[in-house]
């Protein structure tokens, strides 16, 4: 095949894929990019000026996903795991259904029973709850199927959202041991494949590239066939703790995470918690500390008691780089193009790759822009009047970047390396969910309500 024809075919394929995937049907929209190609979006999100509607929601941290007519969310309330369906035009709650948790566990305080974002095929919704498994409803709320799953074993709690690939709902379960990636049929929820993974704990939601599932977790990038989960490639040497999800810009994956240079000492924890002075920590002493609970459950003799050797083994396992990585998927195998080494400890929001610039927001409202070609910092500054913690990931449309802080400050900035603030408003409600963008409307979920904003 002539090279020019091949190149043209690939470009056409890429454009067709992008347009076909434009719907905001999964966490962070089209292939997890956080980008909408639509027009007409507002430059400010002011609930007193340009909120089209506001409707109460069940408590939860999942992000909204959209079909042409509906919005789906999940929540946890009254001891039940809810899937909710709203009308896109009016915000009216059309239906809600619930399942009972099958198990519970101690997790990070920022995690929650309804943290993973559901996924939709444009008609049906597929909800994943770490304390239950998978459940699917049709657009009218009729139960299609349930697939309970065994308890997960993740120190901070599983937070990866499901995606759809190869006619399957994909679940990535990276945990203390026995990690796997699994595919369940859309029609019946039957397990089509389950492939073991060498990665330990991770929290990032995968994306797709040329029919393969791209994962970034526990120091490694992995590629799996979407049809059967078979591993096709591995790139080691990445950051250890990867919370934010990767993004793909053409053939380059961008992801960041953190590790430590030296292992944390046991002595300070022992001094603070060892009430009986026996040189070890019991469940009664460490209580709901998610890390110590997981060490006691999984390390050494697994008797629940944490001793120094068990703590040291865990602490040495998180020694690794603290970095932002750019990884090329072109060629025979993945390769790292560059890395930017900086402190990314506890940064939760995913990065955003938009118009040749990477954006990363940190606690304190620090927004950093990087050159996608080199990783060089272009600008780092605080978002005015929005200096709180950040869990929601930035999203973009029409040369604007939208960011929401945990305490409800919503900023809009101009796109570009030398970004500038356009507006900041105070919603007055906590916000952990990533906004959804479609047809000029910004859908924002808070701890109390779902909003629709437009110009």
Q: For residue 146, what are the CA distances in angstroms to 98, 120, 133, 186, 282?
A: 11, 15, 8, 11, 37
Query: Tokens standing for 281?
Result: 């920590």
What per-residue confidence (pLDDT) applies to 10?
A: 38
* pLDDT-based confidence at residue 298 (cuts at 50, 70, 90): very high
> With 60 as the cut, is the pLDDT of residue 16 above it?
no
pLDDT for 8: 34
Whether the per-residue pLDDT at 75 is higher than 90: the answer is yes
Q: Which residues of 427-451 are buried (b: 16+ CB within 10 A; e: fewer)?
A: bebbbbbbbbbbebbbbbbbbbbbb
- Mark out the alpha helices in 1-69 (DSSP H runs): 3-20
pLDDT at position 321: 94
| pLDDT higher than threshold 70 for residue 362 | yes
Name the percent of the chain lying above pLDDT 70. Answer: 95
pTM: 0.93
Domains of the chain: 3-262+317-453 (2.130.10.10), 267-316 (no CATH)
Whole-number percent of the chain with pLDDT over 90: 91
pLDDT at 240 over 50: yes
Question: Residue 311 is inside which H or E element, if any?
Answer: helix 308-316
Residue 1 in this model has a pLDDT that exceeds 70:
no
**Average pLDDT of span 79-84:** 98
Residue 27 pLDDT exceeds 60: yes
pLDDT of 4 higher than 90: no
Averaged pLDDT, 316-345: 95
Q: For all residues of the chain together, what is the average pLDDT? A: 94
pLDDT band at 108; cut points 50, 70, 90: confident
| Beta strand segments in 220-329, E | 220-225, 231-235, 247-249, 252-257, 323-328
Query: What is the distance between the alpha carbons of residues 38 and 51, in angstroms, rounded to a whole number?
Result: 19
Residue 7 — pLDDT band, cuts 50, 70, 90? very low
Mean pLDDT of 78-95: 98
Is the pLDDT at 22 greater than 90? The verdict is no
- Which pair of structure tokens corresponds to residue 200? 């330990």
CA distance 86 to 394: 23
| Residue 173 pLDDT > 60 | yes
- Of 12 and 248, which is predicted with more confidence? 248
Rounded distance, CA 108 to CA 409, Å? 23
Tell me what pLDDT residue 11 has.
Answer: 37
341 pLDDT band (50/70/90 cuts)?
A: very high
Name the nearest CA neighbour of 246 among 324, 179, 169.
324
Specify the pLDDT at position 196: 98
Residue 17, pLDDT > 70, answer no
Mean pLDDT score, 422-426: 98
DSSP 121-181: SSSSEEEEETTTEEEEE-TT--EEEEEE-PPP--TT---PPPEEETTEEEEEE--SSS-EE
How many whole angstroms separate alpha carbon 384 and alpha carbon 411?
A: 8
pLDDT score of 110 more than 90: no
Assess whether pLDDT exceeds 80 at residue 419.
yes
Indicate whether 178 pLDDT > 90.
yes
pLDDT at position 445 over 50? yes
Using pLDDT thresholds of 50, 70 and 90, give the confidence band for residue 107.
confident
pLDDT reading at 118 higher than 90: yes
Across the range 171-178, mean pLDDT stands at 96
State yes or no: pLDDT of 225 exceeds 60.
Answer: yes
Quote the pLDDT of residue 106: 79
């Amino acid at each position: 095949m002539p090279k020019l024809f091949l190149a043209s075919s690939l470009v056409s394929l890429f454009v067709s894929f992008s347009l076909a995937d434009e719907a905001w049907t999964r966490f962070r929209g089209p292939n997890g990019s956080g980008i909408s190609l639509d027009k007409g979006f507002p430059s400010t999100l002011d609930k007193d000026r340009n909120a089209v509607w506001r409707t109460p929601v069940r408590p939860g941290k999942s992000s909204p996903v959209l079909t042409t007519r509906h919005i789906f969310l999940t929540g946890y309330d009254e001891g039940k795991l809810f899937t909710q369906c709203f009308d896109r035009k009016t915000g009216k709650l059309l239906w809600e259904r619930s399942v009972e948790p099958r198990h519970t566990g101690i997790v990070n305080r920022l995690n929650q029973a309804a943290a993973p974002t559901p996924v939709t095929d444009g008609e049906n919704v597929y909800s994943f709850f770490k304390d239950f498994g998978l459940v699917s409803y049709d657009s009218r709320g009729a139960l299609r199927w349930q697939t309970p799953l065994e308890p997960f074993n993740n120190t901070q709690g599983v937070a990866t959202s499901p995606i759809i690939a190869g006619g399957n709902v994909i679940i990535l379960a990276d945990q203390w041991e026995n990690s796997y990636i699994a595919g369940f049929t859309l029609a019946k929820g039957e397990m089509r494949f389950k492939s073991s993974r060498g990665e330990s704990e991770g929290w990032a939601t995968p994306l797709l590239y040329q029919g393969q599932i791209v994962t970034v977790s526990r120091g490694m990038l992995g590629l799996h066939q979407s049809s059967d989960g078979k591993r096709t490639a591995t790139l080691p040497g990445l950051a250890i703790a990867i919370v934010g999800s990767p993004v793909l810009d053409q053939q380059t994956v961008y992801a960041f995470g953190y590790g430590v240079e030296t292992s944390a000492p046991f002595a300070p924890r022992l001094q603070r918690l060892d009430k009986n002075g026996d040189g070890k920590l019991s469940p009664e002493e460490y209580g709901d500390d998610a890390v110590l609970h997981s060490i006691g459950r999984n390390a050494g003799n697994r008797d629940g008691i944490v001793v120094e050797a068990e703590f040291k083994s865990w602490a040495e396992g998180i020694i690794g780089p603290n970095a932002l990585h750019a990884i090329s998927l072109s060629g025979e195998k993945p390769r790292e193009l560059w890395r930017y080494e900086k402190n990314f400890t506890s940064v939760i929001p995913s990065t955003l790759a938009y118009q040749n610039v990477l954006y990363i927001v940190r606690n304190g409202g620090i927004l950093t822009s990087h050159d996608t070609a080199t990783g060089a910092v272009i600008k780092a500054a605080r978002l005015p009047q929005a200096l709180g913690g950040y869990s929601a990931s930035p999203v973009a449309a029409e040369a604007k970047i939208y960011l929401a802080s945990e305490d409800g400050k919503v900023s809009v900035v101009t796109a570009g390396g030398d970004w500038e603030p356009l507006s900041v408003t105070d919603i007055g409600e906590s916000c952990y969910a990533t906004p959804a963008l479609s047809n000029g409307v910004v859908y924002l979920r808070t701890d109390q309500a779902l909003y629709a904003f437009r110009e």
